[in-house]
Amino acid sequence: MRLDRLTALGWRNLHGPDPSRTADSPSPAVAETPEPSRQGPLQPLEWAPHPRFNLVVGDNGQGKTNLLEAIAVLAGLRSFRTARLQDGISFGQTTAVLTAKVFSRGLPSHLGLELTQRGRRTLVDGKTTTSAAQFLGRLTAVVFTPADLALPHAEPEARRRWLDRVVFNHQPAHLDELRRYEQALTARNAVLRAHAAGKISADAALLDVYDQLIARHGAEVIRRRQHVLDQFVPVVQQVFGQIAAPGLTCDIRYLPKVASQTEVELLHILQERRPRDLGAGHTTRGPHRDDVALLIADRPAAGHASQGQSRALVLAGKIAEIASLEKTLGEAPLLLLDDVSSELDARRNAALMAHLDELGGQVVLTTTAAEHIRVAAPRQIFHVRSGQLTDGSVLGDSGAHARGSQSSMDLSLR
């Protein structure tokens, strides 16, 4: 699985060279969002990454994470930074367009995503898709950010998001199921909230409809989470044994608030708790309240493990996710790492680099210092400043040609 070309237009502060500037013009000031002078039409960022390793180097706030986010959004239609995709539209712009040419199992696809404040449009090979399922699965990406390293100490919502990303990468249809569940949950909560505030008297027949939808999709969300985790955990444990102290064990357990996973029993629980939910103004049971236990030596990592042990567990989870996906997909997924090396100690950073070297897939890795990345695999360095990418040298691959950021790509989303 490989990203061959990427174009971003109006996505955060990413942009191509300004045609009004000359090579001798001073560089624009560092900014996380475009400067006021850039609020007019932006030039698209056009990038053709190296098929193996891409080291994106730059200071903080220059757009490295924005680049990874654009790729992740095209892969999964969700951002790892924000709940709303529209938050990625550049300041002063009304539309963002992301396009990519990707290869999966040797076959090319052209992906397109057009975002406005009113919604989104997705395309595959120039044809508008009518569901997320038609779009997803052509580019599978595993994302690793510094925030992931804090997962054992994070709120349950962060661990649910992590688990749902793992499930989605193995079963792309999970995203549609999760969306249907969330839509029904939002509608039910709106009725409950209005009733609790005294604005309306809740319609029992309407709540019956929402309960049935929540039970149907919620039971499937729970089932998928448990099924994927059952297959995933043994791989995590194997990797953890390789990078942690000898004899130290780990486990990951799904903690649903609802003991049963069947639609009938989930519906019964919703109806049984309806009086309590009407008083609370929200739905108090369901997969939106579940958690994931991260354990080391059979004890919660958050309260009993050292920082190094907790990070070793998270690192093992990421490496295991890549390995299990490669087995499921028949090819390595795209790996996106956002300045993770600077957060790991020397031993675990070396373990990560060793595993990356063994991967046969494509990697896009950001860093503030290229010397943090010690891999022997073929790689190309790119530099990012104020949202612009410039090409650097190709290393460890004498027969390869630099791909670069000057490749043209049709923005018509064909």
Domain ranges of the chain: 1-140+334-414
DSSP 91: T
Q: Would you say residue 372 has pLDDT above 90?
A: no
Q: Would you say residue 407 has pLDDT above 50?
A: no
Is 77 within 8 Å of 85 (Cβ atoms)? yes
Class of domain 1-140+334-414: alpha beta
364 or 27, greater pLDDT: 364
What's the whole-model pTM score? 0.81
Q: What is the pLDDT of residue 283?
A: 97
22 or 90, greater pLDDT: 90
Q: What pLDDT, in 10s, does the model give residues 126-156?
A: 999 998 888 988 999 999 998 888 999 999 9
Give 216-237 as a 3 state SS string: HHHHHHHHHHHHHHHHHHHHHH
The pair of three-digit structure tokens given for residue 171, joined into one six-digit string: 């079963």
Q: Name residue 101's beta-bridge partners.
A: 5, 110
Q: What pLDDT, in 10s, does the model give residues 75-131?
A: 999 898 888 899 999 988 999 999 999 999 889 999 999 999 999 999 999 999 998
Is 413 within 8 Å of 11 (Cβ atoms)? no
Local confidence band at 218 (pLDDT 50, 70, 90 cut-offs): very high
Q: What is the pLDDT of residue 261?
A: 75
30 or 212, greater pLDDT: 212
Q: What pLDDT, in 10s, does the model give residues 319-337?
A: 899 888 888 888 999 999 9
Q: What is the pLDDT of residue 33?
A: 34
Q: Are strands 250-255 and 291-296 parallel, antiparallel or unpaired?
A: antiparallel
Q: What is the pLDDT of residue 18?
A: 57
Most confident region among 37-46, 107-116, 323-332, 373-382 by mean pLDDT = 107-116
Q: What is the pLDDT of residue 40?
A: 45
* Mean of all residue pLDDT scores within the chain: 86
Percent with pLDDT over 70 in the chain:
90
Q: What is the pLDDT of residue 146?
A: 87
The pair of three-digit structure tokens given for residue 308, joined into one six-digit string: 């190094």
Q: What is the pLDDT of residue 87?
A: 93
Is 95 within 8 Å of 89 (Cβ atoms)? yes
DSSP 59: -
Tell me the mean pLDDT in the region 167-187.
92
Is 79 within 8 Å of 40 (Cβ atoms)? no
Q: What is the pLDDT of residue 265?
A: 93
Closest CA to 136 of 96, 94, 177: 177
Tell me the mean pLDDT in the region 389-404.
65
Q: What is the pLDDT of residue 41?
A: 52
Local confidence band at 411 (pLDDT 50, 70, 90 cut-offs): very low
Q: What pLDDT, in 10s, does the model give residues 241-275?
A: 988 888 999 999 999 988 777 999 999 999 999 99
| C-alpha to C-alpha distance for 401 and 327, rounded to whole angstroms | 30
Q: Would you say residue 196 has pLDDT above 60?
A: yes
Q: What is the pLDDT of residue 370?
A: 80
